[in-house]
Structure 1
Amino acid sequence: MRATLERAHLLKSLSHVHRVVERRNTIPILSNVLLRAADGELRLKATDLDLEVTESVPAVVESAGATTVPAHILHDIVRKLPDGAEVSLETGGDGSTLTVRSGRSRFSLQMLPESDFPDITTGGFTHSFALPAADLKRLIDRTQFAISTEETRYYLNGIYLHSVETPAGTMLRAVATDGHRLAQAQRPAPPGAAGMPGVIVPRKTVGEIQRLIDDPNAAVGVELSDAKIRLTLGPVVLTSKLIDGTFPDYARVIPQGNDKELRVYRDDFATAVDRVSTISSERGRAVKLTIGDGRLVLAVNNPDSGSATEELAVEYTAEPLDIGFNAKYLLDIASQIESGEAVFRLADPGSPTLIQDGSDDSALFVLMPMRV
């Protein structure tokens, strides 16, 4: 194999694929990136057996072929080469090393045979559709923060993506929850998404999708089956196994009868929560909300360091209420409110609270209270 290409093209592709590769691997081939040169392009592929990313870049191919080399080392080499450089990749006659040349620099990397590289892309897909990258990113951004990191409840370690019938039509909906909070976002379902299986996209895959979306105006091709999802973003193809589990009936968690409505300016609320939580302990980041006629008092009491209060003017006409929340969770949700106003729908100090954007009903958030 012998191929020459621009350093910028190679670095961009390596930055996309090498993130999939775990730093520590007990299986040596999983530390490598597969390089295949043919037909005027170099195709790169990396996998961790659950997630696979491939990308093709233009190259001058003098001799077709394929091999695998350590992904992180190759990425570091190319990253440190000067801007505008050309990079030559050539396999040696001994079949054990790949020579990387650029200007006066020369590196020899140990290879492992292409035949050892695993392929997780076998099997068909039952549903396919396309949607704007901005819409997919929005669904992910507004729900990702609520993904559980508790490995024992593995079925919560991702975003539940599914189609639902609503009075407004068929919606493509994303939901995530960790048992303490829930985030839901939706958009009109694109053609082909109706009837798709409900799938749980793993947390690592969600993070990679976020990083790969660099052009919000592009279209993303989505293919689905019960076991896998494949996304095509221009020259990049991401294939991932799905979480094999049953996502809980989240609709039962969303409160329907919360009749106490609090409206507050998002920026004022977020900065006030951030300020008073400065003295809270890391273990118990509880903020007490005392809500009365037209005003909200936020209070934190930490026996080890002191107390803090701050008062805000709000819209609230229901009976007074004291309720506590985790400060970090409040800030996470506030960061997803895109308009200037957040709407809290409350019931009592022990029941979940529904939080929505004052001018956008495409997303909702549910937060469990804390004892304060």
Structure 2
Amino acid sequence: MKVTVERALLLKSLSHVHRVVERRNTIPILGNVLIRAGKSRLSLKATDLDLEVTETLAAETGTGGAITVPAHMFYDIVRKLPDGSQIVLEGDGDRSVLAIRAGRSRFTLQTLPESDFPDLAAGDMTHSFTLAAADMKRLIDRTQFAISTEETRYYLNGIYLHAAGSAKEATLRAVATDGHRLAQVDLPLPKSAEGMPGVIVPRKTVGEVQRLIEDNEAELKIELSQGKIRFTIGDVVLTSKLIDGTFPDYGRVIPQNNDKELIVDKKDFEAAVDRVSTISSERGRAVKLALSAGKLVLSVTNPDSGSATEELEVEYASDPLDIGFNSRYLLDIAAQIEGEVAVLRLADPGSPTLVQDKDSKGALYVLMPMRV
């Protein structure tokens, strides 16, 4: 195999592909990236057996062939080569090495045979639709923070993507929850997505898709079946296994009858929570919201370090209410509000609170209270 490729192109592709490779692997081949040279094209492929990324780029091919090399070392070498250089990759199957040349630099890397490299066979994809990359990015950005990291409830370790709503107003809905907070975002359902199965996309896959969407103008093709999902954006194809589990009936935790409405300036609220939470302990993180007519008092008391209070003018006309929240969770949700005004619908100190953007439809957040 002999191929010449521009450093900038190779580095960009490797930066997408090498992230999938875990730094510690008990199976040596999983630490490698598969390099395949074809007619004027070079393809790079990496997998961790749950997720597979393939990217194709333009190259000058002398002779074709395929070889695998350590992914992170290969990436570091290309990253440290001079800008604008032409990189020559020359594989010698007999000696099991790949030579990398650029200007006066020369490296050789040990290789493993292509035949050892696993293939994450996708099988037949039953549904396929396209989505603007900006829409997919919004779905991920607004829900990702609520994905659970608790491995015992593995079915919460991803985003639940499914068709929802009525026939008149069908939506593509993304939901994530960790049991303390819930995020739900809706988009109009793409025509060809009707009848799609509800799927749980794993956290690592969600993060990789988010990073791949660099160009918001692009179109994203999504194909899925009961067990796999595939995203195609430009020259990059990402295939992933789905989480094999049942997502809980999240509709039951979304409050319907919260009658106390608090309307607050999002920036002022976010800044005030951030300021008073400076006093809170790592373990506690509780911030108390004391509501009365037209007024919100935020307070934090930490027996070890002191206390903090801040008062805000708000729109609130219901009975006085004291309720506590985890300050970090409150800030996470406030950060998702796209407009200038947040609406909190409350019931009592022990019931979940519904948070929405006053102007933007299609997104809602639920936060469980804390004892304070």
TM class, shorter-chain normalised? over 0.9
Report what 1:303 is aligned to: 303
Tell me how far apart the structure 1 counterparts of residues 192 and 198 of structure 2 sit (CA, whole Å).
14
| Structure 1 position 168, deviation (Å) | 5.3
1:240-251 aligned at under 5 Å gives the runs 240-251=240-251
Tell me how far apart the structure 2 counterparts of residues 193 and 322 of structure 1 sit (CA, whole Å).
44
After TM superposition, the structure 1 stretch with the greater mean CA deviation from structure 2, 82-91 or 113-122, is 113-122
Tell me how far apart the structure 1 counterparts of residues 255 and 361 of structure 2 sit (CA, whole Å).
15
Tell me how far apart the structure 2 counterparts of residues 164 and 135 of structure 1 sit (CA, whole Å).
16
Report what 1:57 is aligned to: 57
One-letter code aligned to 2:270 = A
1:118 and 2:143 matched = no
Report what 2:177 is aligned to: 177
1:201 and 2:201 matched = yes
Report what 2:186 is aligned to: 186
Partner secondary structure for residue 29 of structure 2: helix
| Structure 1 position 194, deviation (Å) | 1.1
1:72 and 2:72 matched = yes
Report what 2:39 is aligned to: 39
Show CA shifts across 1:10-54 (max 9, x none): 000000000000000000000000000011100000000000000
1:9 and 2:12 matched = no
1:200-279 aligned at under 5 Å gives the runs 200-279=200-279
Tell me how far apart the structure 1 counterparts of residues 176 and 165 of structure 2 sit (CA, whole Å).
19
One-letter code aligned to 1:40 = S
Structure 1 stretches of 5 or more lacking a match? none
Tell me how far apart the structure 1 counterparts of residues 284 and 100 of structure 2 sit (CA, whole Å).
53
After TM superposition, the structure 1 stretch with the greater mean CA deviation from structure 2, 276-285 or 88-97, is 88-97
Partner secondary structure for residue 24 of structure 2: coil
Partner secondary structure for residue 19 of structure 1: helix
Report what 1:132 is aligned to: 132
8 Å CA contact 2:122, 2:239 repeated in 1: no
8 Å CA contact 2:150, 2:157 repeated in 1: yes
Report what 1:361 is aligned to: 361
One-letter code aligned to 1:127 = H
Report what 2:285 is aligned to: 285
Tell me how far apart the structure 1 counterparts of residues 122 and 334 of structure 2 sit (CA, whole Å).
42
Report the CA distance shift for 1:262/1:99 in structure 2 as closer, same or farther (over 3 A): same
Show CA shifts across 1:268-315 (max 9, x none): 000000000001000110000000000000000000000000000000
Q: Which runs of 4+ in 1 moved over 3 A?
A: none
One-letter code aligned to 2:263 = R
Show CA shifts across 1:149-179 (max 9, x none): 0000000000000001337511000000000
Show CA shifts across 1:186-244 (max 9, x none): 10011111110000000000000010000111100000101000000000000000000
Tell me how far apart the structure 2 counterparts of residues 122 and 187 of structure 1 sit (CA, whole Å).
27
Report what 1:29 is aligned to: 29
Tell me how far apart the structure 2 counterparts of residues 140 and 96 of structure 1 sit (CA, whole Å).
42
Provide TM-score, normalisation by structure 1.
0.99
Partner secondary structure for residue 193 of structure 2: coil
Percent identity between the aligned chains? 72
Report what 1:145 is aligned to: 145
One-letter code aligned to 1:87 = I
8 Å CA contact 2:55, 2:235 repeated in 1: yes
One-letter code aligned to 2:193 = A
Tell me how far apart the structure 1 counterparts of residues 211 and 47 of structure 2 sit (CA, whole Å).
16
Show CA shifts across 1:325-349 (max 9, x none): 0000010000000100000000000
Report what 1:166 is aligned to: 166
Report what 2:154 is aligned to: 154
Tell me how far apart the structure 2 counterparts of residues 95 and 83 of structure 1 sit (CA, whole Å).
30
Tell me how far apart the structure 1 counterparts of residues 314 and 119 of structure 2 sit (CA, whole Å).
56
Tell me how far apart the structure 1 counterparts of residues 331 and 174 of structure 2 sit (CA, whole Å).
20
One-letter code aligned to 2:225 = S
Structure 2 stretches of 5 or more lacking a match? none
Tell me how far apart the structure 1 counterparts of residues 167 and 357 of structure 2 sit (CA, whole Å).
20
Tell me how far apart the structure 2 counterparts of residues 166 and 357 of structure 1 sit (CA, whole Å).
22
Report what 1:339 is aligned to: 339
Superposition CA RMSD, Å:
0.8
